[in-house]
Amino acid sequence: MSPLALLFLTLFNSVLGLSILFPILGPLGRALGLTEVQVGLFSTGYALMQFLLSPYWGRRSERGRKPVLLVGILGFAASFLLFGVFALLGERGLVPPGLLFFLLLLARLLGGAFSSATLPTAQAYVADVTGRENRTAGMALLGAAFGLAVILGPALGAGLAALFGLLAPVFFSAGIALLNALFVYLVLPESRPRGQEAGARLSPFDPRVFPLLLLGLALNLSSVALEQTIAFYFQDRLLLGGVETAQKVGLALVFYGVVAVFVQGVLVRKTGWPPRVLLSLGLPLGILGFVLLVYAKTFWALALGLALQGVGQGLALPGVTAALSLAVGEGEQGLVAGLNSSAQALGRMLGPIVGTGLYRLAPEGPYVLGASLLLLALLFLPALFRRARL
């Protein structure tokens, strides 16, 4: 099996362990006596640590990719094990709710700190094992691994919770991470031989990368704002009850995810389009998806808007990642991957706040914002590529 295929499995396992928790964090928090705001802080804190530490891990990976991957995966496993143990103590009444929240938040902060090592190192690994002409296809494969895990993980988490209780997915995630670390240790080869010179510090304001980082931030912010509000939007637009909303939103989001995975895992890899083409196609399709969401009145129109968004994201995100990789030298791959992951994490932090805040003002607000951000990016695309020298 090629190093790229092995890396696909590594990242898939890592994201699967995280996405398994998506459907159970809310009900688990309520069962432990926590408020919705407290549960929301778990995700915010997780993303905050990724924002702060991704550049550090990317820089550290210039000394060797495999050790950093192992540290990230093992730290992730330890943090989830701690989260499960603390939750179990709280469930049995051995820890008061006030203290329990801070212990669980600490576990999530540790999880974000260590998991922030995985994605930038994986992106740098792809740059190590692919030539410039195959860089975009390699980055798209990482996106497909991420998307596939996000599709399968929630279904697996819901099934485990139904069979064995709400804490089962937490301990299962820790187990997956330990097995993943063993897999990396035994099977995944090192992609950066010892003795290779690492680049100096790379500033996020470096003109080669700054515009691309802003574009990645805009893509992630608009996507997360959509994901955080789309269930409310379906319910309000279609006048649905709670159960029917869950069913229809679940179906539409699966469609959205499958389309994005197909685009990244099959279309981008088969065509080999360069970043300029991917962004020139992806941004208009993303804009069209947002506009359709604003005006849609039926389930299928809303689902089509989501699907177009999935196609746009599936084209644009690997375009940004590949463009960043190609904009810098071979000794700066870990550095730029860390900055890219940090920008994405900032989008995940701001997306829920901006999306829900705009939704309170006007239900179409998050999608108008998304269309506006992508339109602005599209208008500046020629200048962006000139500054990045691509």
The single-letter code of the amino acid at 37 is: V
Q: 247-253: long-range contacts (C-beta < 8 A, 24 or more apart)?
A: 248/299, 251/303, 252/299, 252/302, 252/303, 252/306, 253/227, 253/306
Give the pLDDT band (50/70/90) at residue 51. Answer: very high
Using the predicted structure, report yes or no on whether residue 389 has a pLDDT greater than 70. no
166-199 burial, b if ≥16 CB within 10 A, otherwise e? bbbbbbbbbebbbebbeebeeebeebbeeeeeeb
The residue segments making up the domain with residue 181 are: 3-187
Residue 22: inside a domain: yes
**pTM score, two decimals?**
0.86
Largest CA distance in the chain: 62
Residue 239: inside a domain: yes
In this structure, the answer to whether residues 155 and 293 fall within a common structural domain is: no
Interatomic CA distance for residues 325 and 217, integer angstroms: 16
In this structure, the answer to whether residues 102 and 15 fall within a common structural domain is: yes
In this structure, the answer to whether residues 183 and 48 fall within a common structural domain is: yes
In this structure, the answer to whether residues 360 and 326 fall within a common structural domain is: yes
Find the mean pLDDT for residues 306-318. Answer: 93
In this structure, the answer to whether residues 60 and 149 fall within a common structural domain is: yes
In this structure, the answer to whether residues 21 and 167 fall within a common structural domain is: yes
In this structure, the answer to whether residues 245 and 347 fall within a common structural domain is: yes
The single-letter code of the amino acid at 209 is: V
Q: Which residues contact 258 (CB under 8 A, 6 or more apart)?
A: 151, 310
In this structure, the answer to whether residues 165 and 239 fall within a common structural domain is: no
Using the predicted structure, report yes or no on whether residue 54 has a pLDDT greater than 90. yes
Residue 198: inside a domain: no
Interatomic CA distance for residues 130 and 243, integer angstroms: 46
In this structure, the answer to whether residues 162 and 108 fall within a common structural domain is: yes
Find the mean pLDDT for residues 288-304. Answer: 95
Nearest to 80 by CA among 157, 151, 184: 157
* Number of folded domains that form the chain: 2
Find the mean pLDDT for residues 340-349. Answer: 92
Give the pLDDT band (50/70/90) at residue 179. Answer: very high
The single-letter code of the amino acid at 330 is: E
Find the mean pLDDT for residues 23-50. Answer: 84
Interatomic CA distance for residues 210 and 362, integer angstroms: 32
Residue 200: inside a domain: no
Residue 251: inside a domain: yes
Among 50-54, 104-108, 146-150, the least confident range: 146-150
Q: What is the pLDDT of residue 295?
A: 94
Q: Which residues contact 309 (CB under 8 A, 6 or more apart)?
A: 223, 226, 256, 285, 286, 289, 290, 293
Q: Which pLDDT tens digit goes with each residue over 180-217?
A: 999 999 999 998 766 555 556 789 998 889 999 999 99
Give the pLDDT band (50/70/90) at residue 8. Answer: confident
In this structure, the answer to whether residues 171 and 273 fall within a common structural domain is: no
Outline where the chain has alpha helix (H): 3-19, 25-31, 36-60, 65-91, 97-115, 118-129, 135-164, 168-187, 210-238, 242-262, 268-271, 275-295, 299-327, 333-361, 365-379, 381-388
Q: What is the pLDDT of residue 118?
A: 92
Q: Which pLDDT tens digit goes with each residue over 225-279?
A: 998 888 889 888 998 886 688 678 878 888 888 888 899 888 988 888 899 999 9
In this structure, the answer to whether residues 28 and 120 fall within a common structural domain is: yes
Among 35-44, 122-131, 169-178, 223-232, the least confident range: 35-44
Residue 197: inside a domain: no
In this structure, the answer to whether residues 164 and 241 fall within a common structural domain is: no
Give the pLDDT band (50/70/90) at residue 1. Answer: low
SS3 for 299?
helix
Give me the CATH number covering residue 15: 1.20.1250.20
The single-letter code of the amino acid at 191 is: S
Q: What is the pLDDT of residue 196?
A: 58
